[in-house]
Structure 1
Amino acid sequence: MKPVDALLEIVRSEGVRHVFGNPGTTELPFLEALVDAPDLPYVLGLQEGSVVAMADGYARATGRTAFVNLHVAAGLANGLIGLLNASRSRTPMVVLAGQQDQRHLQADPMLAGDLVGLASPAVKSAVEVHQPYDLPVLLRRAFALARRTPSGPVFVSVPMDVLSSSSSVDVPAVSRVSAPGASSDVSSAVRILAEATSPVIVAGDGVGRDGVVPALVSLAERLGAPVWSQPMFDGVDFPGSHPLYAGMLPPRHEAIRAELEAHDVVVIVGCHAFMPHHWTPGSPIPDGCAVVQLDADPAEIGRNFPVAAGLAGALGATLAAVEEALAGEVRPSTAAAVEARVAAIGGRISEKRAAVERAARDRYGPAPLDPPAAMHAVASGLPDDAVVVEEAITAGLALRTVLRLDRPRSYVHTIGGGLGWGVGAAIGTRLGDPSRPVVAVLGDGCTMFGLQGLWSAVRYRVPVTFVVVNNGEYRTLKETLDGLAGPSAAAGTYVGLDLPGLDWQAGAKLFGMASTRVAHTEELRALVAGAGDRTEPLLVEVPVTAHGGRSG
Structure 2
Amino acid sequence: MAPAKRCSSANASSATPPRCGRTTARTAGAGKACSTAWWGAAPYGPRRRSRPWPTTSPRHTGVSRPRRRNRPEETIMRELVARYLSRSISRRGFLKGLTTAGISLASAEGILDSLVPVAHAQDTRRVAPEAIKMVEGSGAECFAEQLVASGVKYVFGNSASEDAQFYEALVDRPQLKYVLTPHEGPGAAMAAGYVKASGEPTIVMQAAVVGLVNAMGQMFNAYKEQTPLVFYSYRTDQTRRAGRDGFEEVANQEQIVQPMAKYSWLARRADMIPETVRRGFKAAWTQPYGPTYVSWHSDLNDEKTYAEVIIQEKVDPRMRVRPNPAEVERAARLLVEARMPLMIAGDEITTAKAAAKAVKLAELLGMPVTQARQIYANFPETHPLWVGSLPAARLAALDFPKNPDVVINVGNKLQHNSPQPIVAREAKFIDMRIDSWSMGNVMNTEVPLVADVAYGLDDLIAAVEGLVTPALRKKAQERAQEVRRFSEKAKTLRALVARNPEWNRNPMLADRVTSEIAQFADKDAIIVHEAGSVVLHGFDFNPIGGRELFYYYGAHLGSGVGTAAGVKLARPNQQVICLVGDGSFVFGPTALWNMARLELPVITVVYNNHAYGGPHSRVIEKTAGGKMVQKRQFVHD
Q: What TM-score bracket applies, with the shorter chain setting the length?
A: 0.7 to 0.9
Query: Mapping of 1:46-445 within 5 angstroms?
Result: 46-103=182-239, 104-113=241-250, 114-174=252-312, 175=314, 177-185=317-325, 186-231=328-373, 233-253=374-394, 255-256=396-397, 261-272=402-413, 274-277=414-417, 279=418, 281-360=419-498, 362=500, 363-365=502-504, 367-395=506-534, 398-399=535-536, 401-407=537-543, 410-445=548-583
Preserved contact between residue 377 and residue 542 of structure 2 (Cα < 8 Å): yes
C-alpha distance in 2 between matches for 1:332 and 1:369: 53
Structure-1 separation of matches of 2:538 and 2:264: 41
Query: What is the SS of the residue equivalent to 2:243?
Result: helix
> 1:19 Cα deviation (Å)?
0.8
Residue of structure 2 in register with 1:462 after alignment: 600
Give runs of aligned pairs for residues 494-513 of structure 1, distance below 5 A: 494-498=633-637
Once the two structures are superposed, residues 260-298 of structure 1 have per-residue CA deviations (whole angstroms, 9 ceiling, x without a partner) of 6411100111111x2134x3x433222421001101122
Partner of 2:630: 491
Q: Deviations over 1:413-451 (max 9, x none)?
A: 221001000010000000011111100000000000001
| 1:27 paired to 2:160 | no
Q: Deviations over 1:80-115 (max 9, x none)?
A: 001011111111111111211112212222101232
For residue 375 of structure 1, report the CA deviation from its aligned partner.
Answer: 1.4
* Partner Cα separation in structure 1 for residue 523 and residue 322 of structure 2: 34
Q: AA paired with 2:348?
A: G
8 Å Cα contact 1:257-1:286 kept in structure 2: no
For the residue of structure 2 that corresponds to 1:126, the secondary structure is strand
CA contact (8 A) 1:189 1:292 kept: yes
TM-aligned CA distance change 1:257 to 1:102, over 3 Å = farther
Do the aligned residues in 1 keep the contact of 2:339 with 2:405 (CA within 8 Å)? Answer: yes
8 Å Cα contact 1:26/1:99 also seen in 2: no
> Which amino acid in structure 1 is aligned with residue 248 of structure 2?
L
TM-superposed CA distance for 1:123, in Å, is: 1.5
Q: Distance in 2 between matches of 1:107 and 1:147?
A: 36
- Per the alignment, do residues 404 and 132 of structure 1 end up closer, same or farther by CA in structure 2, a change over 3 Å counting? same
* Aligned partners of 2:355 and 2:543 also within 8 Å: no
Q: Take 2:330 and 2:444, find their aligned partners in 1: how far apart are those partners?
A: 15
Between stretches 362-371 and 445-454, larger displacement belongs to: 362-371
Q: 1:110 is aligned with what amino acid?
A: F
Question: SS of 2:541's equivalent?
Answer: coil
Identity score, percent: 27
Distance 1:258 1:385, change over 3 A: closer
**Code of the aligned partner of 1:247:** G
Q: CA deviation at 1:485?
A: 2.7
C-alpha displacement of 1:465: 0.4
Q: More displaced, 4-13 or 256-265? A: 256-265
Question: Residues 19 and 120 (structure 1 numbering): CA distance in 2 closer, same or farther, change over 3 Å?
Answer: same
Q: What SS class does the counterpart of residue 344 from structure 2 fall into?
A: strand
Shift of the 251–101 alpha-carbon distance from structure 1 to 2, 3 Å rule, reads farther
C-alpha deviation, 1:25, in angstroms: 2.1
Following the alignment from structure 1 to structure 2, what is the Cα–Cα distance between the partners of residues 35 and 89?
Answer: 34
* CA 1:89–1:126: 2 relative to 1, 3 Å: same
Query: How many equivalent residue pairs?
Result: 491
Matches of 1:475 and 1:166, distance apart in 2:
54
Letter in 2 for 1:184: N
Q: Measure how far apart 1:366 and its partner are.
A: 5.4
**SS of corresponding position for 2:375:** coil
| More displaced stretch, 184-193 vs 435-444 | 184-193
- 2:387–2:400 Cα contact (<8 Å) kept: no
Distance 1:491 1:394 in 2: 24
Equivalent in the alignment of 1:507: none
2:306 is paired with a residue of what secondary structure? coil
Contact 1:265 1:290 in 2 (8 A): yes
Unaligned runs of 5+ in 2: 1-135
Moved more, 127-136 or 164-173: 164-173
Q: Is the 8 A contact 2:149 2:309 kept in 1?
A: no
Give yes or no for contact 1:64–1:92 (8 Å, CA) kept in 2: no
Q: Deviations over 1:350-379 (max 9, x none)?
A: 211221132146554254111112111122
Q: In structure 2, how many angstroms separate the alpha carbons of the residues matched to 1:132 and 1:234?
A: 39
Question: For the Cα contact (< 8 Å) 1:53–1:421, is it kept in 2?
Answer: yes
Q: Which amino acid aligns with 2:480?
A: V
1:50·1:420 contact (CA, 8 Å) conserved in 2? Answer: yes
With over 3 angstroms needed to count, the CA separation of the structure-2 counterparts of 1:403 and 1:276, relative to structure 1, is: farther
- Partner of 1:107, secondary structure, is coil
The SS at the match of 1:169 is strand
Over 3 Å counting, the alpha-carbon distance change for 1:88 and 1:490 in structure 2 is same
Q: Structure 2 vs 1, CA of residues 173 and 438 (structure 1 numbering), >3 Å: closer, same or farther?
A: closer
Unaligned 5+ runs, structure 1 = 499-552
User: Residue by residue, what CA displacement relative to the aligned partner does 1:45-101 show, whole Å, maximum 9, x if unpaired?
Assistant: 111001100000000010112211111111000000010111111111111112111
Q: Which fold has the larger relative contact order, with Cα–Cα distance below 8 Å and residues 6 or more apart in sequence?
A: 1
AA of the residue aligned to 1:72? A
1:492/1:372 CA distance change after superposition, 3 Å:
farther
Which residue number corresponds to residue 529 of structure 1? none
The code of the aligned residue for 1:107 comes to R
Moved more, 419-428 or 91-100: 91-100
Cα separation, 1, equivalents of 2:509 and 2:595: 29
Q: In the aligned structure 1, how far is the partner of 2:358 from the partner of 2:631? A: 45
